[in-house]
Amino acid sequence: MIVAGVGARTPLGLTSTQTGFLGRAGMVSLQEAPLPDGAGQAFTMGLVSVVPRELRGTARLEALTGPALEELFSELGQRLSGSRLRLHLLADEPLGAFSVDVASLEFALRQQASALHGSNVAVEVHATGTGGGAAILATIQERLQQGVCDAVLFGGAHTDVDPCRIEALTASDRIFSPDNRDGLVPGEGAAFVLLTLPATARALGLPVRAVIQAFSPGFETARPDNDHPAFEAKGLTVAVRRAMTSANAQSGWLMNDLNTELFRLYEYQAVLARSQDLLCPPQVMEAPAQRLGDQGHVVEAAPGVGP
C-alpha cells in the first residue's frame, strides 16, 4: 500500500506540515492542562490550544478529527472525485469510567468526510487504542485488494482532556510529575493518511508520499495495570522482527510512540538489543510523544495488543 495524503492536528501544529517541521526542529509543546487531576492538582499536558478548553472527551475528538480531514482533502479533493472511499479511525479504548461515544463520533466523521468528498463515505470507529492498528491495516489491505473501495482514510484520534480519563490515570498513579517520574505526560491529537494501491494512485493521479512495505501485530502481557516483566517483550519483539524481515531492509531511523512510563522504555530496550542485526547506523531513535504529550496506547486487554 502507499500513503497518498496526510492531515493532522496536534499540540505542535495545526497541520501535518507544521507538525512535521516543528517536530524535526525539536520543539516541545507542553502546558498546564485545562482541568485538574483526580486529586485536584494541576498537571502538564500536550494541548491543542485552538480547541475550546471547555470541550471534553468525544466532543473534543470531533474537534480534532475535523480539521485533520479538511487538510487532507484540501490537497487531494479534486483527484478523489468519483472514487469510492472508506474511513477507519482508531480511538481510545475504555479506561475506568471513560469510554468514547463511538456512535456519535462515527456520525460526525460520516457527515464531515461525505461533505468533503461529495458522496457517501462509509465510516468505522474502532475503540481499541492505537495498538489495534495492525489488525485494521490488514482489513484495509484486504478490502483494497478485493476492490471493495478505491482508497481508505486511516486515522487515529486521542485526547486525555476528560475528567473520567484523568481520574483513572490519577488513581493508577500514571500521570508524570516531579514526584512521579514513572508516568506519562497526557496529550491529544488526530491524524489521517490516505491509503491506496499503486495502480489506483496512478489512475487517480495521486502522489506517493510514502510506501508501507510491511506491518505486523504483536501481543504483550505486560501492561500498566500488572507486574508482568516488561523486559520479556515477546509481542513487540515478534512484531518488529517480522515486519522488518518482511520488508527485507535495515533501518537506521526509528520513530516510536514511547511516552515516559518506564515499563514501555524497558520493553523497547529489550527489542533494540534483540534486533541489532536489522538496524544500521546512525540508529537514531525518536519518541515524539515525549515532547508533545502521550498519543494514546492500549491499557486494558487480555493479553494486551502491542504496537
pLDDT of residue 130: 72
Reported as a single tens digit per residue, the pLDDT across 174-224 is: 999 988 989 999 999 999 999 999 999 999 999 999 999 999 888 888 888
pLDDT of residue 224: 82
pLDDT of residue 297: 65
Please name every residue paired with 218 in a beta bridge, in sequence order, or none if there are none.
Answer: 306
Please name every residue paired with 2 in a beta bridge, in sequence order, or none if there are none.
Answer: 196, 211
Going through the chain in order, the beta strands assigned E by DSSP cover 2-9, 31-32, 44-45, 85-90, 122-126, 151-159, 188-196, 210-211, 218-220, 251-255, 279-286, 304-306
Q: Which helix (H) or strand (E) holds 168?
A: helix 163-171
pLDDT of residue 38: 87
Claim: this prediction has a pTM higher than 0.85: yes
pLDDT of residue 217: 87
Residue ranges in the chain whose pLDDT is less than 50:
298-307
Distance of CA 66 to the CA centre of its chain: 16
Helix/strand/coil (H/E/C) assignment for every residue in 33-44? CCCCCCCCCCCE
For residue 189, how many other CB atoms are within 10 A of its CB? 28
Residues 6+ apart with CB under 8 A from 84: 148, 149, 150, 151
